[in-house]
Structure 1
């Protein structure tokens, strides 16, 4: 009679962990590409900072 493996749980958990990590890496890569394509985040020059500050601080009528 062939020996049965004692537990398959360890291999199932390992596969689940690696699949989850792979999915997170793919999501991070996609998010980075999307942010780079839309240029959402970027350095602001002083003129832009002053304009934003003025718009935020000026009360609306």
Structure 2
């Protein structure tokens, strides 16, 4: 009888999945840092702040 050869498919697939997950985690960390560092909304002036406060407080009909 011939010796059973071990398949290399499972370890290769596992390594690919692990590498893909690691890459996704790194991309998420980079995106979170970039979003936190960039202030997209920017500072609000007093007029805009008062308008938002008025809109939020006014009940809708």
TM-score, L = length of structure 1? 0.58
| Residue-pair matches, total | 46
Spell out structure 1 runs of 4+ moving beyond 6 A.
none
Higher relative contact order (CA 8 A, sep 6+): 1
- Structure 2 unmatched runs, 5+: 53-61
Give 1 or 2 for the bigger CA radius of gyration: 2
- Gap regions ≥5 residues in structure 1: 52-61
Instruction: Give the TM-score normalised by structure 2.
Output: 0.58
